[in-house]
Amino acid sequence: ATNRTFTMIKPDAVQENHIGGILSMIEEAGFRIVEMKKVLLTPERAGQFYEVHKERPFYQDLVKYMSSGPIVAAILEKDNAVADFRTLIGATNPAQAAEGTIRKKYAKSIEANAVHGSDSNENAQLEGEFYFA
Ligand code: CMP
């Protein structure tokens, strides 16, 4: 069925002028961009977005990184969007990301991994509302 997922192009990828390259890969894979905007998160907002990870050892660094420069937030639509987008972006750790994935091409590290993709329909809905309420 056609459904939606949510993505962010993260600060490192925006800083290095990869917005266009990443959006091209997304559109070429058949996703429609339903909503999109460039946003600078405060540390507080970044902390809220990643609240589920607040007990993880990487949380403080992640919040600092995600508020270090603007991100591009977008809602994407496609058949089987959540799963297909996770395939398109590749593994969280770019060292394990498959050939042809966005992270293989653009991610620098497990933290600065170029893009976010929702892991479920429920989270896609919640994460989209966080930016496009
Ligand atoms: P993302 O898919 O947006 O979800 C959580 C983010 O935390 C992840 O991408 C990375 O940017 C960051 N992160 C940093 N270190 C780790 C780690 N060890 N495991 C998972 N995510 C990490």
**Is 53 annotated as catalytic?**
no
Measured on CA atoms in the order 13, 14, 16, 21, is the torsion positive or negative?
positive
What is the 3-state secondary structure of 53-79? HCCCCCHHHHHHHHCCCCEEEEEEEEE
Which of ligand 1's atoms lies nearest the C-alpha of 66? 11
130 annotated as a binding-site residue: no
Would the pTM of this model clear 0.95, i.e. be above it? yes
- Please tell me the residue having the least CA distance from ligand 1 atom 13: 111
| CA 69 – ligand 1 centroid, Å | 17
State phi, psi for 131 to the nearest 5 degrees.
-105, -30
User: What ipTM was reported for this prediction?
Assistant: 0.93
Residue with tokens 């939606």: 4
Q: Given 4, 18, 78, 116, which residue is catalytic?
A: 116
* pLDDT tens readout for residues 50-80: 999 999 999 999 999 999 999 999 999 999 9
Q: Packing angle between helix 81-89 and helix 121-131, nearest 10 degrees?
A: 80
Q: Give me the CATH code for the 2-131 domain, please.
A: 3.30.70.141
* pLDDT tens readout for residues 85-130: 999 999 999 999 999 999 999 999 999 999 999 999 999 999 999 9
Residues whose CB falls within 8 Å of the CB of residue 95, separated by 6 or more in sequence, listed in order: 110
Name the residue ranges covered by the structural domains of the chain. Answer: 2-131
| Residue 99, pLDDT score | 98
